[in-house]
Amino acid sequence: MSLETAQTALRAGFFACLSADGTLTGLLGGARFHDAPERGAADPYLVLGPVDSRPLLSGPDEGLVHDLELTVFSKAESRDTAAASAGRAAEALLHGPVALSGHRLVNLTIGSVRSRRLKDGRTFEAVCGMRAVTEPVS
């Protein structure tokens, strides 16, 4: 199994799990999940940001470690919507299920959730750093 195949499976599994969470879709106003949002995407929305993958041991067939970020963008009056949505996304993924095609999610941990106002002065961003360990299904 390649790194790209595992990343694709992880992305699809994450988006399916997040889409199934009614509380999260309620906070976002729908299933607003993107790899890269289109210009003028409805606000607020969640983006699967950078995903860095590497072999857990000596090769990808023995498992992979993925460091990734989920980012929520919101133009609400405060950072509350962005932070609550990022936190809920993390909870939904931690409690799953996260089904991966051709792979198994062995472990998922949350590193941090941080929020800030962007330079435009109107947009808040909340970033949830995560680490996932996957292994191929034999």
Using alpha carbons, select from 11, 12, 30 the residue that is nearest to residue 22: 30
The answer to whether residues 58 and 116 touch, using CB atoms and an 8 Å cutoff, is no
15-18: long-range contacts (C-beta < 8 A, 24 or more apart)? 15/48, 16/98, 16/99, 17/92, 17/93, 17/96, 17/97, 17/98, 17/99, 18/46, 18/89, 18/92, 18/93
Q: Kindly report the CATH number that applies to the domain delimited by 3-136.
A: 3.30.2000.30
Q: Which two tokens stand for residue 71?
A: 């980012």
For 57-109, what is each residue's pLDDT tens digit? 877 678 899 999 999 999 999 999 999 999 999 999 999 899 999 999 999 99
Question: What pLDDT score does 121 carry?
Answer: 93
Question: What pLDDT score does 106 carry?
Answer: 95
As a whole number, mean pLDDT of residues 106-122 equals: 93
Calpha distance 126→136 (Å, rounded): 31
Confidence of residue 31 (pLDDT cuts 50, 70, 90): very high
Question: What pLDDT score does 2 carry?
Answer: 65
Question: What pLDDT score does 124 carry?
Answer: 97
Question: What pLDDT score does 3 carry?
Answer: 66
